[in-house]
Amino acid sequence: MLDFHSHLLPGIDDGSRNIEMSVGMLNMWKEQGVSIVCATPHFYADSMSPSRFLDRRERSYFSLIEALKNSTYPRIYKGAEVHYFRGMSSSEDIGRLCLQSTKLLLVEMPFHEWSDYMIREISELRSMGFIPVAAHIERYMSGQPGKKIDALLDTGIMIQCNAEFFLSLRTRRKALSMLADRKIDFLGSDAHNLSSRMPNLGDAYKIIRKKLGDDSLLHIRKNEKMLTDAWQLTRSTEEAL
């Protein structure tokens, strides 16, 4: 299992507060059988430059890796949850915020109504070769007019949903139906801590496997391969140097 969306790294956003909490979260993922966790701290362009963000992310990542030495934990891929900002399609740094060394860019859309300009910028990113992935799309479905959701999907954006979408009895039927129709491309926990927003991807997988069977996850696995292949390629390149 791969968790596409989490706030695992310590002390960088409103997720894990410190190394102990991050280690606790990694233990929960490990117990659930999750082998890869994408660390996607919030990036807000109006509060920090990409360079400063990436510098802070590196320091947070290495402090955690140092603490994990000699232990077995899920592998961590680095990325960001980029809050939509005006001009993101013309930002020279946008590629540096993609996940691992792929073109996958996790985008958090605003919770107010999306303008046509926003949709055009997402479309522009797609035509530039990036693969925007809309974070937790289920959280927008009741707040946006249907035509805005359709317009966003028409840009070719990929879709990430949170485990909670499957765990809540209120939304489970909709979540399973979207997954069966291959309308979900990635799954994540969006975990922030050990209690109120804890790693819970394993529980969602149990429900999916029970209700739809393992084959329903083939589409997700195919997409996740973009990340595992990129990681493998980076590793082979590093080893060759």
Residues that bind Fe ion (CB under 5 A): 81, 190
- In angstroms, give the least distance from the CB of 189 to Fe ion: 9
- In angstroms, give the least distance from the CB of 115 to Fe ion: 22
- In angstroms, give the least distance from the CB of 190 to Fe ion: 4
Residue of this chain nearest to Fe ion (CB atom): 190
Count of C-beta atoms within a 10 Å radius of residue 20: 12
- Evaluated on CA atoms 159, 162, 163, 168, the torsion sign reads negative
Q: Closer to Fe ion by CB, 133 or 178: give it.
A: 133
Q: Closer to Fe ion by CB, 64 or 80: give it.
A: 80
Q: Which residue is associated with the tokens 């129709």?
A: 181
Q: Where are the beta strands (DSSP E) in 116-185?
A: 131-134, 158-162
Beta bridge partners of 37: 3, 76
- In angstroms, give the least distance from the CB of 184 to Fe ion: 16
Burial of 222 (0-12, 13-18, 19+ CB in 10 A): exposed
Q: Closer to Fe ion by CB, 42 or 211: give it.
A: 42
Question: 184, 177, 123, 111: which is closest to 154 by C-alpha?
Answer: 123
